[in-house]
Amino acid sequence: MIPFLDLGAGYRELEHEIDSAIKRVLTSGWYILGEEVEHFEAEYAAYCDASETVSVANGLDALILSLRALGIGPGDEVIVPSNTFIATWLAVSAVGAKAVPVEPDPRYHNIDAELIVAAITKRTKAVIVVHLYGQPVDLDSIKNITASHGLALIEDAAQAHGALYRGKRIGAHGDLVCWSFYPAKNLGAYGDGGAVTTCNQALAANIRLLRNYGSKEKYRNEVQGVNSRLDPVQAAVLRVKLKYLDEWNGRRKTIAGEYLSALGDLDLALPEVPDWADPVWHLFVIKSHDREALQKRLSDQGVSTQIHYPLAPFQQQAYASAAESYGALPIAEKISSEVLSLPIGPHQSEDHTAKIIAAVRVAARRD
């Protein structure tokens, strides 16, 4: 079976560097926050063109602490994409606010800037955009809307490490940019990890306080914080992998280019890239009216695929109690019934890419 993503191959390529980075932490005798984490934070901020990185325990916490730092809570509304990984919604729910879904542009799968204004009420405090599948949203249009309505803009960039919007890295276009370093992300740790990048010093300081028990000085607690820290072993791994991020994203881009040029004549919708975006191809998502059959035919030919996501958040049991309040969200529903992610990753061989292309060509053929 051709794997969907081979994470072990990533470790093997960098084995010596990773091992010595981990060993450096183990021998240092320092296992929470400290220098290794600070170095990673500085390096990631520089990479993202942000002035600050505050690392946290995972991507969900990055979103939750961002909302808390902005003072968002019960009674507030936050606009979110109708189609996203559920973490985007769970963060809003976790602070007691209401997630208000806005439909995506079906070409790009990202929140449709033109539909945001109609969803704004006097309770709206923020918009969370998601650079889904590694492709940036139309940030300029959305920033115009958030600025003119006095709303905060949070970017869920968990799938977009290294992506560019109009030539500028994702990392500080919005007020707060949230990252996950879950192993399968473009920049992934060997465990959980997350961060917030920003150019807003006050918000960064607030998140820094919240992630560590509300404490700057040991046993002095200014606010009721949480324990959400990136551990130094993961920080050391991420420092190594950050050096290879652009190269590894480049390999994904090569594979995406091959898929795009080899599959364009089939009865499938291929990803479309708007002129503002330089995506990092976290996922390569095609759409088919007969997705289940296509997935089975690919699996029969030894090609693993995945679905991102089979159910949108509002279709999940977790949100069943509020389902009626969302109204009809037909675009997200259609997307979740049609999407199929082909294998892509920095360690996918040319041979595998060729086999996947051949298998898709067979599987998509009309009988």
Ligand X SMILES: *Cc1c(COP(=O)(O)O)cnc(C)c1O
- Cis amide bond preceding 108, omega within 30: no
Judged by CB under 6 A, the stretch of 43-51, 55-63, 93-101, 285-293 that binds ligand X is 55-63
Of 180 and 353, which has the nearer Cβ to ligand X?
180
Q: How far is the CB of 73 from ligand X (least distance, A)?
A: 20
Part of the chain binding ligand X (CB under 6 A), chosen from 83-91, 111-119, 270-278, 340-348:
83-91
Among 100, 158, 285, 344, binds ligand X (CB under 6 A): 158
Other CB atoms closer than 10 Å to residue 320's CB: what's the count? 10
Which member of 55, 58, 234, 336 binds ligand X (CB under 6 A)? 58
Cα 161 from Cα 133, distance rounded (Å)? 11
Give yes or no for residue 130 binding ligand X (CB under 6 A): yes
* Residue closer to ligand X, measured from CB, 188 or 343: 188
What H or E segment, with its residue span, contains residue 340?
Answer: strand 339-342
Structure token digits, residue 358: 């051949």
Cβ neighbours, 10 Å, residue 1: 8
What does residue 216 show for φ and ψ, rounded to 5 degrees? -95, -40
Stretch that binds ligand X, among 81-89, 113-121, 284-292, 329-337 (CB under 6 A): 81-89
Candidate segments 111-119, 155-163, 208-216, 218-226, binder of ligand X by CB under 6 A:
155-163
Q: Which string of DSSP letters, residue by residue, matches 77-111?
A: EEEEESSS-THHHHHHHHTT-EEEEEPBPTTT-SB
The token pair that represents 71 in the structure block: 């003072």
The verdict on 59 binding ligand X (CB under 6 A) reads yes
Number of residues located near ligand X, criterion CB under 6 A: 15
Nearer to ligand X, 58 or 212 (CB): 58
Q: Work out which of 55, 66, 84, 305 binds ligand X, going by CB under 6 A.
A: 84
Q: What is the rounded CA–CA span in Å between residue 256 and residue 275?
A: 17
Among 5, 25, 56, 60, binds ligand X (CB under 6 A): 60
Provide CB contacts within 8 A for 272, sequence distance 6+: 107, 108
What's the sign of the alpha-carbon dihedral 60, 66, 67, 69?
A: positive
Q: Which of 53, 159, 200, 348 binds ligand X (CB under 6 A)?
A: 159
Between 25 and 137, CB nearer to ligand X: 137
The answer to whether 173 touches 316, Cβ cutoff 8 Å, is no
Which of positions 176-205 make contact with ligand X (CB under 6 A)? 180, 182, 192, 194
Residue 145 structure tokens: 């809307």
Tell me how far, at minimum, the Cβ of 215 lies from ligand X, in Å. Answer: 23
DSSP 341: E
| Residues numbered 268-297 forming contacts with ligand X, rule: CB under 6 A | none
Q: Strand pairing partners for 225? A: none
Tokens 């109009």, residue located: 166
CB of 63 to ligand X, least distance (A): 7
Count of beta carbons in the 10 Å neighbourhood of residue 297: 17
Residue 173 in contact with residue 277, Cβ under 8 Å? no
Q: What's the min distance (Å) between Cβ of 195 and ligand X?
A: 10
Residues in the chain: 367
CB of 265 to ligand X, least distance (A): 31
Residue 285 Cβ vs ligand X, minimum distance, rounded to whole Å: 13
The residue within the footprint of ligand X, chosen from 53, 55, 82, 88 (CB under 6 A), is 88
Nearest distance, CB of residue 220 and ligand X, angstroms? 29
Residue nearest to ligand X (CB): 59
Pick the stretch among 24-32, 85-93, 209-217, 242-250 that binds ligand X (CB under 6 A).
85-93
Nearest to 176 by CA among 56, 333, 2: 56
Where does this chain bind ligand X (CB under 6 A)?
A: 58-60, 84-85, 87-88, 130, 156, 158-159, 180, 182, 192, 194
